[in-house]
Structure 1
């Protein structure tokens, strides 16, 4: 338990110690900074009634730009880690993580945001020299069709077997889950009504939703589509938590390049569960659930998704063509181009892939001789053109790729950066019986064995 040591009130540049602060004031509190990361609710120790937390902060943008950092002097790593912890507390939208390759990654909303973070990290929080890698973006993985066949996986002890398929979600449903227009904590009746009325699901499917993932507001759904005549529902319910955990784990790190899965519905079609509880523990079910989710995903025409920014540019009429040129060179597309009433300016609204937005502002100023100004904010996710698993595509270094090769290029480069093998190996996700089933059905596989 942590205790409040000092209360201080801010007065211009001075912090004046006080013994009490009435509601509605800004206050500095000393002694409780250790356990708090972003937000917290502070209560008194002697409080007997239930404490309700303040609603966590919600933002209209996401942290999709990431940079890898490391200290110039390796012995100063602990200082940098301490600085990262402090920066994480100071910036509400910032998040930090360590990749499997060991690199420390900072996620922010854009170039200027990350510039400010790095300035504070170097000068204020750690006071050391820090090297920064080129910025990259987060991707998502999705599917565009229903799985071409029912995918199954057996647990290591061969006593349990789970069968699943994957398919894309209805348009707008992923955003509804993320914006919490629908919550998994609702009663089954209320969930059923929501999906029935808004997305035209049948009542049985709508009431059989097990989880959203990853976390409780992730844009993927796990549905129990088994029939009581074929599957022992009481046995299945005993392993529900383990299957959900495997699904959450799988959707947090997809099979293409360890990025989150988005906009997918996973349906459990069949399950054979061992009668003895010792044979159906979490250690058996969780990895199997994740593996079958991956195999169903790979059979459903997987695609990569990239973040798109909404750009608003204000420029004089004679600079509009230059703005179009800069946007076209970066895969941007203009949605609106209107004059500002009563002024010589034009407002140009466009969508631009976040991966092509690095240096956009500088480029824009150069081409318009400093006359154009732009605002950018994360807007939506969009599928990257091309098949990420098409092995006929050869990625040549230092050459710009045609549009249809982009998905493959992004996947391979992301896998390299994370220290993963060059290509997706299906041996990890498909059991031997499943591979035999694929061979029987003569399914053409693009993936290396």
Structure 2
């Protein structure tokens, strides 16, 4: 008898591979090591396709939380034979931790899939290709807004995005957020309207109502894309069912379709081309069986129905109802007409299990989605032509930009590491990123340019050898990474071992001798770390483990920051939201500290300090010094312009004069932004030029940075304050200037500024009263209340909520509504001034300042003045 593995290796197609995979796992009972050995047999094919840049698709799956991304991704993974069709929707292959499965929220995970398309499906494809096999590098990104940084890390190394929208809940806040991020990175989107099973099993809506629900989702999504699209480079990015860029799916049950699926079934019956039939299955196209004619208006006849309803929706509804009601005698004749062949073992299934298997066999989600991805998302070769000027920081005509633009495998190596992933050995990290040009291979030295690297400088620059190169096959137990000894060429997504000592969060890699290369542009995150928690060891002897664990935590997540206060030794973890920090602390304790217990403080929020009025010139005089200082509040919108990067150390004069009314002299005399050299506060040197001394200015800037970092009210950073130095003369500058700055601020009607969330949640109408009560009780402001979409039983509430009031909000709301609100999405929206006076006893601002000062170990009362008595 022949060796089955030998026969497999030389003869099996992708489809045969899937069937063998299912047989081994479900009938023979192979363990995880066998699973890896079987997959390893296909690595030669995967490695071969990696060299065909036209046959690669790098894509992210993006959506609002709980819209079914990870469940839907199982169908795509099953098409590559990594999991069996029977377990689609249950495995959640791209989840990395048990708590992710439990809460239905996951971090981004990459996986490489090999897929073979039929010749018939590729008939209309006009792009370049090498054969019918395609490599899909897929990243399943998180939907919860707290993990927006993970979405950013995924988008910057992919070229296309599969947008998943729940057909009942519709387009939500995070849908818009991730779509805006994608278009900003010049990522081309396609759409799948997911959870279609809810229409048939839960809501039981009729076809016409369902059509309008789907049309509403597509219109809202296209409206968002019209707002943020980049026509110059991407062209038309809107999605249209009749053009094949919209799919309809049920991730839980593993079935889905595009209109092309049904156009193939019906076009010969009506004697028209597939493309013509495709157009008739969407929009105002109605068919009357009585007259056998198509019209653009409903004739009013009971038999006259919209093409989509009559030929797509109702046949699915009929089969689902037959399966659920166990009417098998009616099922088999229909399946024979459709050409659907069931396995003998499947015919014993009943109810929803039968329905799942029938629908998977008739309309496999993987076929519809992967064909849509391959036909309508760009290859690296195509995408890098228009993405290069968004990616590369250097001259767009140098050798490195040209290599990226042409996706040149023979050009210099340009690789961007978007995130660091903890290795399974609990020690090092793997650098996860995308090869944009050239080739990366094991035991090769690379030049590492970190996020703070400046061309022709030595800061944040390293040379290190890559130990090993991996293809990513998911994470977690039983999910493997496969080494590639020959190296990986441009257009592919890889994981590298051996660079974790040099890369903190992200970096650009090039060849060792490419000293003229500029880095790839660092990512811009849509979220901000506005919630914090202090941590300490329960057992003081575990302090070294805590310090090391915090370093590893900071490295493992693009957004989380871990800081230590020098004066008191406090360790603070900062993140984008409450749920985000809870997960970070769990990872810190369970994975990075070996289970050793930590003690955490209550969550707290960072505030900002500002002023309302312009101060008169204040004078500080000592035997050796004289200082005249004025402080004034910013003009409206100036702080945001600095936050958005429109105004910075290199670009400010013209915008300040034209938009904010500054005089040219003041605009040209800005000598510092602060805090941290980029913050929304300005130091303006208004002294006569003949008195300006570089040494004096350096001291003055250092004092300004100190004051901008810690304001006089509660030691919080300043925001929106202009500091004018009118006259400065003498010695002992640092202590005097610091005192004078703080005193000027206290005498200019100081105020506290708090961060504010934009909140979106969905709930049935009967829960709205309790939701409003909770929001108003936490100083919330209702912005909008509306039905999620036509036909949906849910209502969407949009509101603003102070971040400090959001702590515990989700749990309280879930209890108050008896579990009817499952997910509250809170996105940082803006900074808002608290109207009350912090110097007035008993005011809200006064209480907040007192709490902050106590937490920081300061005296509870604000000092009356910071001036020395002379």
- Corresponding residue to 2:847 among 399, 409, 427: 409
Say which structure, 1 or 2, has more relative contact order (CA 8 Å, 6+ apart): 1
In structure 2, distance between residues paired with 1:324 and 1:109: 24
Q: Which one is further off, 407-416 or 21-30? A: 21-30
Aligned residue runs from structure 1 range 47-58, under 5 A: 47-49=514-516, 51-58=517-524
Maintained 8 Å contact 1:165/1:297: no
1:103 aligns with 2:575: no
Q: Where does residue 606 of structure 2 map in the other structure?
A: 138
- Corresponding residue to 1:387 among 806, 812, 837: 837
In structure 2, distance between residues paired with 1:2 and 1:123: 33
Q: Where does residue 363 of structure 1 map in the other structure?
A: 812
Structure with the higher fraction of residues in helix conformation: 2
1:173 aligns with 2:622: no
Q: Where does residue 490 of structure 2 map in the other structure?
A: 23
Q: How large is the Cα RMSD of the aligned pairs?
A: 1.9
1:85 aligns with 2:534: no
- Corresponding residue to 1:160 among 617, 625, 639: 625
Aligned residue runs from structure 1 range 11-410, under 5 A: 11-12=472-473, 13-17=479-483, 18-49=485-516, 51-99=517-565, 100-127=567-594, 128-147=596-615, 149-154=616-621, 158-186=623-651, 191-227=652-688, 232-235=690-693, 237-272=694-729, 274=730, 280=731, 284-342=732-790, 343-372=792-821, 373-390=823-840, 392-393=841-842, 405-410=843-848
Q: CA deviation digits over 1:161-210, x for unaligned, max 9?
A: 22111111011111111111111123xxxx32211111111222122211
Query: Secondary structure of 1:309's partner?
Result: strand
In structure 1, distance between residues paired with 2:761 and 2:480: 40
Q: Where does residue 431 of structure 1 map in the other structure?
A: 868
In structure 1, distance between residues paired with 2:858 and 2:549: 28
Residue 211 of structure 1: CA displacement? 1.4
Structure 1 runs (4+) deviating above 4 angstroms are: none
Query: Secondary structure of 1:305's partner?
Result: strand
In structure 2, distance between residues paired with 1:182 and 1:137: 27
Residue 431 of structure 1: CA displacement? 2.9
In structure 1, distance between residues paired with 2:714 and 2:649: 28
1:9 aligns with 2:470: yes
Residue 42 of structure 1: CA displacement? 2.9
Q: CA deviation digits over 1:353-401, x for unaligned, max 9?
A: 11111111112222222222421111111122422223x43xxxxxxxx
TM-score, length-scaled by structure 2: 0.44
In structure 2, distance between residues paired with 1:125 and 1:357: 28
Residue 2 of structure 1: CA displacement? 4.9
Maintained 8 Å contact 2:472/2:495: no
Q: Where does residue 396 of structure 1 map in the other structure?
A: none
Q: Number of paired residues?
A: 399
In structure 2, distance between residues paired with 1:161 and 1:90: 50
Q: CA deviation digits over 1:124-149, x for unaligned, max 9?
A: 111211111111111111111112x3
Query: Secondary structure of 2:535's partner?
Result: strand
Query: Secondary structure of 1:66's partner?
Result: strand
In structure 1, distance between residues paired with 2:838 and 2:665: 35
Q: CA deviation digits over 1:306-327, x for unaligned, max 9?
A: 1111101211222211111110
Residue 57 of structure 1: CA displacement? 2.1
In structure 2, distance between residues paired with 1:226 and 1:312: 50
TM-score, length-scaled by structure 1: 0.84
Report the CA distance shift for 1:103/1:234 in structure 2 as closer, same or farther (over 3 A): closer
Residue 55 of structure 1: CA displacement? 2.1
Q: Where does residue 30 of structure 2 map in the other structure?
A: none
In structure 1, distance between residues paired with 2:676 and 2:704: 10
Query: Secondary structure of 2:799's partner?
Result: strand
In structure 2, distance between residues paired with 1:19 and 1:89: 29
Q: Where does residue 34 of structure 2 map in the other structure?
A: none
Query: Secondary structure of 1:322's partner?
Result: helix
Maintained 8 Å contact 2:472/2:494: no
Residue 267 of structure 1: CA displacement? 1.0
Query: Secondary structure of 1:432's partner?
Result: coil
Maintained 8 Å contact 2:653/2:668: yes
Residue 34 of structure 1: CA displacement? 2.1
Maintained 8 Å contact 1:8/1:15: no
In structure 2, distance between residues paired with 1:16 and 1:154: 70
In structure 1, distance between residues paired with 2:766 and 2:587: 39
Maintained 8 Å contact 1:61/1:109: yes
In structure 1, distance between residues paired with 2:848 and 2:568: 18
